[in-house]
Structures are given as structure tokens and as C-alpha cells.
Amino acid sequence: MPFLIDGYNLLRAIQKKDEEFAPLTDVQLCQKLGLYLTRTAETGEIVFDGAGPRDKSPFDNIPNLEIIFAGMSVEADTIMEEKIQTNSAPKRLVVISNDRRVHAAGRKRKTELIKCELFWAQVEKELSRKRGPKEPHQKRRGQLSKGETDRWMQLFDLDD
């Protein structure tokens, strides 16, 4: 399910909830969300109010997350409402916001609505999970040594 995230709404909710995250920046938030989305094999869009920083290069190459700055003349809520209204599969869309206006737009299209604090708890839980050991690259590439190949050929009686 694709996520539509109210950027500064989520960031402020996180900063209020936990002093540990008070210094969290918008870039750091996006990096954590990119990692979360990658681990869960999901995609998302995050919409921030304002024009954002002059240098937006720190936001480049964040996996599975499209970062949108609303600009100076439009609010993030307006962009989110438009995205909800124009979404071709609104019942699959998950909207992350605490804003009443965004929730009202989501309810009209029957999107899944999640409060920022609950979503962040999901993100923290997923990111704190231990990942299993990485598979050796040979497993997917099928690269055995000559000795290993000879042993398997012999074991299955496939020698010439």
C-alpha cells in the first residue's frame, strides 16, 4: 500500500512525543522513512510545507520515498487533499497525518488514516527489529568453487 505522509505534521508529533527525537531533522526523518519503506517493500510520498532548504541534495537518493515541498503559495494539506482526490486506488492509500482537514479528505475517499504517533511507533518497531544474517552472494549467483562442484557432481553420480 502506498503511503501519503504529512511531513512536518509527523516530524512535530515525533519531536513532541520523545525528547530523544527532538533534534530530528526533516532529512533524517526522510532517511528513516526510506529505510522503513525499503524493509517493508512499500513506497511513499511525503509532503512538506514551504519551499524547503535551498540545497535539496540531502533528499536525493532516498529509496522508496518521493519528497515534495509544497512551495510558498500552497500548503502541504492542499497538495495532500489533491493527491487523495486524484488517487486511482484510494482504498489502498494510507494517509499519515493528525490534521483534521487531511483526515476529512481521506474519509471521503475511504483511505486508511493513521495518526502520526501510531505510524511512528510502527516505524520504530520495524527499524528496531533484528535483521537475519545476510545471505551469501553465492547463494543467488550459484558460484561454487571447482572443488565444491566436483564434490556435488560426484555425490549425485553425474561425473563423465
pLDDT per position as a tens digit, 2-25: 999 999 999 999 988 877 777 888
The boundaries of the domain holding residue 106 are 3-135
Q: Give the C-alpha distances (Å, rounded to integers) separating 51 from 1, 72, 105, 122.
A: 28, 6, 23, 29
Report pLDDT digits (tens) over 25-37.
Answer: 899 999 999 999 9
Q: Kindly state whether residue 131 falls inside one of the protein's structural domains.
A: yes
Confidence class for position 152, pLDDT limits 50, 70, 90:
confident
* β-bridge pairing 94-96 and 65-69: unpaired
CA distance 67 to 5: 10
Q: Kindly state whether residue 153 falls inside one of the protein's structural domains.
A: no
pLDDT of residue 139: 66
Q: Which residues contact 75 (CB under 8 A, 6 or more apart)?
A: 49
Report pLDDT digits (tens) over 79-100.
Answer: 999 999 999 999 999 999 999 9
Number of domains in the chain: 1
Measured torsion, CA atoms of residues 90, 95, 101, 104, in degrees rounded to the nearest 10: 40
Q: Is residue 48 classed as helix, strand or coil in its secondary structure?
A: strand
Q: Kindly state whether residue 69 falls inside one of the protein's structural domains.
A: yes
Nearest to 86 by CA among 66, 69, 105: 105
Average pLDDT over residues 49-77: 92
Q: DSSP state, 54?
A: S
**Tell me, what CATH number does 86's domain have?**
3.40.50
pLDDT of residue 5: 97
Average pLDDT over residues 121-149: 78
pLDDT of residue 47: 97
Q: Which residues contact 15 (CB under 8 A, 6 or more apart)?
A: 21, 22, 24
Q: Kindly state whether residue 157 falls inside one of the protein's structural domains.
A: no
Q: Kindly state whether residue 87 falls inside one of the protein's structural domains.
A: yes
Q: Kindly state whether residue 41 falls inside one of the protein's structural domains.
A: yes
Q: Kindly state whether residue 114 falls inside one of the protein's structural domains.
A: yes
Q: Kindly state whether residue 160 falls inside one of the protein's structural domains.
A: no
